[in-house]
Amino acid sequence: MPAVSNVLVVGAGLAGCATAISLAEQGVAVDLVEISPDVAAVGSGITLQGNALRELRRLGVWEQVQQNGFGFDSLGLRAPDPAGTLLVEMPDVRTGGPDLPASLGLPRPRLAAILHERASAAGAKIRFGTTCAALAQDPGGVDVTFADGSTGRYDLVVGADGIRSWTRRMLGIILETRAVGMGIWRAFGPRPASVTRTDLYYGGPSYIAGYCPTGENSLYAYIVEPAQDRSTLSPPEQLATMRELSQAYHGPWDDIRATLVDADRVNYTWFETHVLPAPWNRGRVVLIGDAAHSCPPTLAQGGAQALEDAAVLTELLLAGESLDQPLWDAFTERRFARAQTVVEASNQLSQWLIEHERGDVPALIGRITALVSRPA
């Protein structure tokens, strides 16, 4: 018997869907509520590292992820010079194991749709456009009131509702989410033939310019700049700004710039970070994914860490007899230090760029690669 028989998951992102799939598959009754009416409607691309792919394979969606994405096994470094000179092409470590690519790009809406379909097929009941209005727990369960006035009682509530987690606030947890000092322009568009892996251009007028193929016909491209208030720009002005910043980058970026014409596919956001000190649960409510820890995407590990939280939590819930302190201690033991290490390394990379410091990037990446190559 699992430690829980019915669970509410708040948030149908990576962490929430992964939790719902693993529990529902094993007969636990799962309600999954997602505040957005249709999360699969908009979005850019995502780079999934091998350790994220390992979790997606365990969830039974690897075939679809592979068919809808673009896998690759190396990383290019290019100069911000008039030729976009390729400085080095480095083989990337297959952190998910030898039979999965080192990295894979995927359109975010496709990934969301794949995970939602899988969660439904596993038996989870998903309600879109719904959220919670109140939580009250006692030693035997958690009473939840939903925004539409309906109610439910659960053995466990999993707050997988992202960086600004409602569940975290309901628990009365005060956690400072800090701006890292960088803002990112992202554009989703067609993939030119010259883009077959991620290349990063360090330096020039911005910190980083890069891209990631997300399918035969798609990619997302990005430029990371000092964080500034871009909120007053209209969509056409945003497009013009990203195009202007991209003028310093050449090689495949020349091909990308030629397709950078749709203002609706451009967005700007700041990098932010936090780590919730352990434990991540308060009684029968637990926070996972970005709700508990969030990092700038300098190592593209946020998605992987969210999936790993879900994998470890559900493994313990399914193996345990009861929702007791040893279970929470085991969760902390397996997740806290690993997620914190990844966040700190991601922040360190940002800091070196902001301060124009020559840190030992290969050593840092080697350390994180070794860490995440080990199963969570």
Least separation in angstroms between CB 48 and ligand FAD: 6
Q: Which residues contact 29 (CB under 8 A, 6 or more apart)?
A: 5, 6, 7
Our CB check for ligand FAD shows the closer of 316 and 339 to be 339
Quote the CA–CA distance of 267 and 242 in Å, as a whole number: 9
Contact (Cβ atoms closer than 8 angstroms) between residue 201 and residue 256: no
Residues from 103 through 142 that contact ligand FAD (CB under 6 A): 131
Two tokens at 73?
């096994």
Cis peptide before 279 (omega within 30 of 0): yes
Our CB check for ligand FAD shows the closer of 16 and 80 to be 16
Picking from 156, 46, 63, 153, the residue whose alpha carbon sits closest to that of residue 117 is: 63
Picking from 10, 11, 14, 21, the residue whose alpha carbon sits closest to that of residue 318 is: 21
Quote the CA–CA distance of 77 and 208 in Å, as a whole number: 11
Two tokens at 196?
């077959």
Least separation in angstroms between CB 207 and ligand FAD: 13
Our CB check for ligand FAD shows the closer of 179 and 319 to be 179
Q: Is position 289 an interface residue for ligand FAD (rule: CB under 6 A)? A: yes
Name the DSSP class of 215.
E
Q: Is position 210 an interface residue for ligand FAD (rule: CB under 6 A)? A: no
Q: Is position 39 an interface residue for ligand FAD (rule: CB under 6 A)? A: yes
Least separation in angstroms between CB 158 and ligand FAD: 10
Q: Which residues of 217-244 are buried (b: 16+ CB within 10 A; e: fewer)?
A: ebbbbbbbbebeebeeeeeeebbebbbe
- Tell me which of 53, 142, 209, 300 binds ligand FAD, using CB under 6 A: 300
Least separation in angstroms between CB 300 and ligand FAD: 4
Q: Is position 161 an interface residue for ligand FAD (rule: CB under 6 A)? A: yes
Our CB check for ligand FAD shows the closer of 7 and 14 to be 14
Q: Is position 285 an interface residue for ligand FAD (rule: CB under 6 A)? A: no
Q: Is position 36 an interface residue for ligand FAD (rule: CB under 6 A)? A: yes
Two tokens at 149?
């006035």
Least separation in angstroms between CB 313 and ligand FAD: 12
H/E segment holding residue 331? helix 325-354
- Tell me which of 76, 84, 162, 210 binds ligand FAD, using CB under 6 A: 162
Quote the CA–CA distance of 351 and 341 in Å, as a whole number: 15
Our CB check for ligand FAD shows the closer of 4 and 106 to be 106
Q: Is position 5 an interface residue for ligand FAD (rule: CB under 6 A)? A: no
Least separation in angstroms between CB 62 and ligand FAD: 16
Residues that bind ligand FAD (CB under 6 A): 10-16, 33-36, 39, 46-48, 52, 131, 160-162, 166, 184, 269, 289-290, 297, 300-304, 306
